[in-house]
Chain A
Amino acid sequence: AQKITQTQPGMFVQEKEAVTLDCTYDTSDQSYGLFWYKQPSSGEMIFLIYQGSYDEQNATEGRYSLNFQKARKSANLVISASQLGDSAMYFCAMRCSSNTGKLIFGQGTTLQVKP
């Protein structure tokens, strides 16, 4: 079965500190892609970062980086230098080669940045 698990329902971080949001995945496909999306309180879904299963280096996009550990089937999102505007819900998602393009989402993690 293809599944994404985010075990942290809620996280707090102090402004300007780094935070790691956990994501583990399960698939028997050899080819897959992992995504992180941000959903602020306004409700829209914002793409943050992508990691392919064959990518040898961890993906980075500005203050976002992905700690990809293939053997452990984890794809944790690291946000450096947290800002108040980072307060939102974060979703990890997976697209597998066998599932015609659909994204499978985790339960989400709510992040609150404290001033």
Chain B
Amino acid sequence: DTAVSQTPKYLVTQMGNDKSIKCEQNLGHDTMYWYKQDSKKFLKIMFSYNNKELIINETVPNRFSPKSPDKAHLNLHINSLELGDSAVYFCASSQGTRLNTEAFFGQGTRLTVV
């Protein structure tokens, strides 16, 4: 069983479209995250939810909107896609936000905007 699963794994879309990436974790964790990995492989936090409550909202364009229907799911919706949105998006989860809590990552979604 995959602990953190994201769909789709690959997403190619045209500029201006709206798309969603789904994430589900079966680890029973209460905290979920979205990270973005750019073309230089740099990873940066975008959002975090704890028990369905938004706790981290980094400087991200408001075209990006996360939604957490329950503790096991965190989806990412992107409106009006731009070329610069092309990246790999990782979902992750952890049991709480304690310092020693490792984050488990999904396999990533490679988004290509053309």
Contacts and interface: CB of A to CB of B under 8 A. Distances in A.
Contact of A101 (B31, B43, B108, B110): B31
Nearest to A33: B99
A43 B41 contact: no
Q: Chain B, interface size: which category?
A: 20 to 34
A33 B102 CA distance: 10
A32 B99 contact: yes
Contacts of B100: 33, 50, 52
Interface residues of A, number: 28
Interface stretch (A14-22, A79-87, A89-97): A89-97
Interface in B15-70: 31, 33, 35, 40-45, 48, 50, 55-56, 58
B30 to A, nearest CB: 11
Contact of B41 (A33, A42, A44, A107): A107
Given A45-B90, A101-B50, A101-B97, A89 B41 contact: yes
A47 interface: yes
6 contacts: A33-B99, A39-B41, A44-B107, A96-B99, A102-B33, A103-B45
Interface of B: 31, 33, 35, 40-45, 48, 50, 55-56, 58, 88, 90, 92, 94, 96-108, 110
